[in-house]
Amino acid sequence: MSDTVDAALRADAPPAAPLGGLRDFVRRYARNRGAVAGAVVLFGVLVLAATAPLLYPASPWQMTGAPFLHPFSPGFPLGTDSLGRDIAAGIAHGARVSLLVGSVSTVVAIVIGVTLGAVAGYHGGVIDDAIMRFTEFFQTIPGFVLAVVLVAIFHPTITSIVIAIGIVSWPSVTRLVRGQVLSLRSREFVVASVALGAGTLRIIFTEILPNTLSPIIVLASLMVASAILLESALSFLGLGDPNLMSWGYMIGAGRSLLRLAWWMAVFPGVAILLTVLALNLVGEGLNDALNPRLARRR
């Protein structure tokens, strides 16, 4: 996650006036054509996930045709798998799982990371040292290995997967927020709040954290992409929720049949590629739009 932290740090904004209205933000975002393309693709994935029950009301686990139907077969634009299940239905319903896991696990990681990072950065001293040593301990463990262990211990369910991804993702948020708080706690508006007798929680939540939203938003968009990849990897290894169709599971089910039915693994893989790429492009666009220094250069 070091690359995502670096990208988010570049979105640091001074606590002065807001960047402008919504119109200025959209104009800056639209200058990045890749970010616009990413937003279009991401919107398409969101629409597909939202309309999956309408497009494919039957369960994606249900056999709806003959096994190994090729793509563009009548009624099956992406073909069927070895059990006669519709690949298109699996991708549509899998989009719901991937976006749900990615967004909820990111929220979990941000809640943990922002809380610890704000406390460490504002108080400093022994509290800062203790929290950062705790954070570094988690960062010494490979995230994917820790996620596999956690999911295996608590049994593969959507809840355990979300918690596992959130646990392996929060250290990068903590380091980012701590750095932002350290740079803001000595600013004049914070010193003035202290002089007026404002409490610690009020200063953190009303004065400091609102001025760290830009890098957190950028980091969150990149973390969703990482969470989708991690969930897909877990499902590929058979550690996904057995009651939910996911893209990773579809790739894992088709890996041994690549020569016979390549579409079983290729189409879910393309779905993951496009979604993750779109999220990264959106993150880059948010970085450009929320970075006032970069906006002034343009």
Domain assignment of residue 78, yes or no:
no
Domain assignment of residue 83, yes or no:
no
For residue 137, the tally of other CB atoms under 10 A from its CB is: 10
pLDDT for residue 32 is more than 50: yes
pLDDT for residue 9 is more than 80: no
Domain assignment of residue 77, yes or no:
no
CATH number of the domain encompassing residue 157? 1.10.3720.10
Domain assignment of residue 75, yes or no:
no
The domain containing residue 147 runs over which residues?
2-60+94-297
- Alpha-carbon distance of 75 to 77, in angstroms, equals 6
Q: Write the pLDDT tens digit of every residue in 239-285.
A: 888 888 999 999 988 888 888 899 999 999 999 999 999 999 999 88
Mean pLDDT value across residues 109-121: 93
pLDDT for residue 297 is more than 70: no
Domain assignment of residue 76, yes or no:
no
Determine the pLDDT at residue 293. 59
- Alpha-carbon distance of 106 to 99, in angstroms, equals 10
Burial of 38 (0-12, 13-18, 19+ CB in 10 A): buried
Quote the number of domains for the chain.
Answer: 1
- Alpha-carbon distance of 119 to 131, in angstroms, equals 9
Specify the pTM. Answer: 0.85
For residue 243, the tally of other CB atoms under 10 A from its CB is: 9
245-to-88, 232, 235 alpha-carbon distances in Å: 12, 11, 9
pLDDT band at 294 (very low <50, low <70, confident <90, very high): low
Domain assignment of residue 10, yes or no:
yes
Domain assignment of residue 125, yes or no:
yes
* Of the listed ranges 61-75, 211-225, 239-253, 282-296, the one predicted with least confidence: 282-296
Domain assignment of residue 73, yes or no:
no
